[in-house]
Amino acid sequence: MKMIARVRAYLSAMNFLVGLYGCSTKMGFLQGVRYTSYRFFCRCWFLINRGTTIVPLSQKSFDKRGWATFQSSTLTKYCDEVLAEIRSKERDDFGLFDANGVLTKPLQTLLPNFTNDLAKELDPFLSSIMGSHVKIFYGRLLKSEPADVRSGSQIWHADGGPGSCINVLLYLQETTAQHGAIEILDFDTSKKLFSVEALSNLQSDSERREGKAFLKSNSKSETRKVRNEWYIDYINKNQCSTAQPIGPSGLCVAFKNNTIHRGGYPENGYVRYALILHFYPALSPLTRAPGAQKGYEKTAAFPNNPAF
Ligand SMILES: O=C(O)CCC(=O)C(=O)O
Ligand SMILES: [Fe+2]
């Protein structure tokens, strides 16, 4: 029985590591390979149809580093207008954001032209880092306010969706460290940390305690907390550099869904408004995405079908 459990643990670690290095995801090779194959298909399609205009270097460096930023005066203008609209709505509607700071109305009611306006600006940048056209799976508007302790996405974590997913955070006002700008660990270091964790799962608890490796707890939230402390320890001991992109309203921070990050923890006296969008590879340009009719509500953490 013990032997079977050991073989199972090895196979599961193998599935995890091949998924991580082959498909850039924590979900394992068996689940993640469909998304990576579809991204490959979209990249080939894009390459054939775009010819020489593609910039493969920006896609490669994005894959390695795990994040990139973009800004333009049009985006700033757009985000300023969106924030003015939110602030005016907030005056008459105290329930505009829920207890978690998520907008309670469908995104389109607040931003009717949101895809078309954003698409024109973001499409070239996102296509260059995705290496293909892109489409949106969901969008959420977040208002982050000061709290006594970090919780949820404010502690170090990786989202763990498909490796083809790019998260985009669009700041709706000038965002500094005090506003709770996002902090990101590069993808190469993130992968190293995930590998140590996967390999330490093969050890017994006492072996792990000895090696001071991260120790899983029975509760999910407790495990997240312990993992966060373990990440902080690793980052400090190894002097890993973490990036914290800050900038004017309209700054777009794109990062790999599986790279380690934390954010949205403003200091007292500060508030942060940001739009979070999840992008996936597509065969046609964003401006022609059928999602514009369907809306961008979050119905699941990630799509079941990569070709949604
Ligand atoms: O609010 C933030 O800065 C972090 C958001 C986050 O963790 C995410 O979008 O996955
Ligand atoms: Fe996250």
Q: Could you give the domains of the chain? A: 56-294 (2.60.120.620)
- For a ligand 1 pocket test, name from 176, 182, 253 the mutation site with the most ligand atoms within 8 angstroms of its C-beta: 182
In this prediction, the residues of the chain whose per-residue pLDDT falls under 50 are: none
**The pLDDT of residue 24:** 97
The distance in angstroms from the start CA to the end CA of the chain is 42
DSSP string, 73-97: HHHHHHHHHHHHHHHHHHHH-TTSB
What 299-307 contacts at long range (C-beta under 8 Å, 24+ apart), as own/partner pairs, is: 299/138, 301/159, 301/161, 302/137, 302/161, 302/162, 302/165, 302/278, 303/137, 306/34, 306/35, 306/37, 306/38, 306/39, 306/162, 306/164, 306/280, 306/281, 307/38
Give the per-residue pLDDT at 288: 60
Torsion of CA 259, 121, 246, 254, to 10 degrees: 0
Closest ligand 1 atom to Cα of 272: 1
Distance 266 CA to ligand 1 centre (A): 13
From atom 6 of ligand 1, which residue's Cα is the shortest distance away? 153
- Closest ligand 1 atom to residue 261 Cα is 7
Which has the closest alpha carbon to 70: 24, 21, 124, 25? 124
Residues having C-beta closer than 5 Å to ion ligand 2: 153, 159
Nearest atom in ligand 1 to 276's CA: 9
Ligand 1 site residues (CB inside 6 A) read 153, 159, 167, 169, 182, 261, 263-264, 276
Are the beta carbons of 182 and 262 closer than 8 angstroms?
yes
Distance separating alpha carbons of residues 182 and 244, to the nearest angstrom:
6
Q: Record the pTM.
A: 0.93
Q: Token match 């590879």: residue?
A: 281
What CA–CA distance (Å, rounded) separates 219 from 216?
9
- Residue 282 host element (H or E): strand 272-282
Which residue's C-alpha comes closest to atom 4 of ligand 1? 263
Q: Whose CA is nearest to atom 1 of ligand 1?
A: 264
Residue located nearest, by CA, to atom 7 of ligand 1: 153
Choose the residue to mutate in 261, 270, 273 for probing ligand 1, maximizing ligand atoms within 8 Å of C-beta. Answer: 261
Structure tokens at 22: 């082959």
Nearest CA, atom 2, ligand 1 = 263
Q: Is 109 exposed, middle or buried (0-12, 13-18, 19+ CB in 10 A)?
A: exposed
Confidence (pLDDT) at 296: 81
- Give the Å distance between the CA of 182 and the centre of ligand 1: 7
AA identity, residue 279:
F
Ligand 2 center from residue 69 Cα (angstroms):
16
Residue 203 is predicted with a pLDDT of 77
For the residues of 10-38, what is the DSSP string, one character each?
Answer: HHHHHHHHHHHHHHS-SS-HHHHHHHHHH
Q: Which atom of ligand 1 lies nearest, measured to the CA of 153?
A: 7
Tokens in use for 129?
């880092």
pLDDT tens digits, 189-207: 999 999 988 888 787 767 7
Evaluate whether 26 touches 19 at the Cβ level (below 8 Å).
yes
Look at residue 212 in the predicted model and tell me its pLDDT: 56
